[in-house]
Amino acid sequence: MIKLQNLSVQTGSFILHNISLDVREGTYATLMGKNGQGKTTLMEAICGLRTVTAGTIQINSVDITRWLPGDRGIGYVPQDLVVFPGMTTYDQIAFPLKIRRWPRRMISDRVSEVAVLLHLTALLSRRPDELSGGQSQRVAIGRALSFRPRVLMLDEPVSSLDQQAKNETLSLLKSIQQQVGVTTLHITHDEKEAGRMADQRFVIDNGTLSEQSSLASPIH
């Protein structure tokens, strides 16, 4: 569950004011809005990367507003991917587990499990410059999922992919979310994508966030 209460975020001259949101446990939610409305800023604030000036963030009923990003238990896949340069796919997926000092054997087992889930088994020894856009995307998702996060944050995860890779990745995301049951918040511009993926849909417009029923009119 992700719950925002009267959240305000300021980054430079940009301000998000009084945002409230409630994503139910285990659901797949989408967040839509025009460019410059602060979708990414909001997601980064939830992840702990932007300073919250007022309000609270709760994950599974725990107030994490002042927690360090690494303690929040959020798996974050940024829009610009940011797979770590020079690391193999294995090392990327194992990264959060090594930070948490998991035993070597458990790391190896978990990486194999995630690799199977995301069809990455054949790519475990490859470095980022040997991966396609879709493969890099799956590596970033695998890295965010490997430590069994409480929630998953996806910032336009398929925006840079071609139609086929987009369809494959979306199907994969939905199936993983159903298997793992992790509460997911997914930013997208695409109305069809939101319709296909979302159990809950949110729209941010002029600094106001509202929940949209599935029959609501699309934003323009």
Partner 1 sequence: MSPNTSGDAPILRNVTKPRSDVAFFIGLSAFSSIYVFLIVAMLVADVCFTSWSNIIETLLKREVQAAIRLTFLSCTAASILSIWVAIPFGYLLSRYRFPGRSFFEAVADVPFVLPPMVIGLSLLILFHLNIYGWELERWLRDDLGFGVTFRWPAVVLAQFVVACAFAIRTMRVTFDQINPRAEEVARTLGCTRYQSFSRVALPQAMRGIVAAFAVAWARSFGEFGPILVFAGSTRMRTEVLSTTVYLEWSVGNLSSAVAVSLVMVLIASLVLVVIRFAGGPAGR
Query: CB under 8 A: which stretch of 29-37, 44-52, 115-123, 162-170 binds partner 1?
Result: 44-52
Q: Which residue type, as a one-letter code, is found at position 15?
A: I
Check if the beta carbon of residue 141 is closer than 8 Å to that of residue 173: yes
Site for partner 1 contains 74 (CB under 8 A): yes
Closest approach, Cβ 80 to partner 1, in A, equals: 6
CB of 16 or CB of 47, closer to partner 1:
47
Closest approach, Cβ 68 to partner 1, in A, equals: 7
216 dihedral zone (left: phi>0; alpha: psi -120 to 50; beta): beta
Q: In what order do the strands lie in the sheet with 62-63?
A: 14-23, 2-11, 52-59, 62-63
Q: How far lies 107's CA from each of 13, 118, 171, 184, in Å?
A: 42, 16, 26, 24
Site for partner 1 contains 110 (CB under 8 A): no
Q: Which of 76, 135, 154, 169 binds partner 1 (CB under 8 A)?
A: 76
Site for partner 1 contains 85 (CB under 8 A): yes
Number of residues that bind partner 1 (CB under 8 A): 24
Site for partner 1 contains 84 (CB under 8 A): yes
Closest approach, Cβ 53 to partner 1, in A, equals: 17
Query: CB under 8 A: which stretch of 16-24, 71-79, 193-201, 205-213 binds partner 1?
Result: 71-79
Site for partner 1 contains 106 (CB under 8 A): no
Rule CB under 8 A: which of 120-159 touch partner 1?
143-144, 147
What is the spatial distance between Cα 33 and Cα 39, in angstroms, rounded to a whole number?
A: 7
Site for partner 1 contains 67 (CB under 8 A): no
CB of 16 or CB of 144, closer to partner 1:
144
Q: Which residue type, as a one-letter code, is found at position 107?
A: I
Q: Which of 122, 154, 129 is nearest to 140 (CA)?
A: 154
CB of 55 or CB of 128, closer to partner 1:
128
Q: Which of 65, 83, 34, 75 is nearest to 187 (CA)?
A: 34
Residue 78 C-alpha from the chain's centroid = 7
Check if the beta carbon of residue 86 is closer than 8 Å to that of residue 55: no
Q: At 95, which helix (H) or strand (E)?
A: helix 89-99
Question: Which chain residues interact with partner 1 by CB under 8 A?
Answer: 44, 47-49, 68-70, 72, 74-76, 78, 80, 82, 84-86, 95-96, 99-100, 143-144, 147
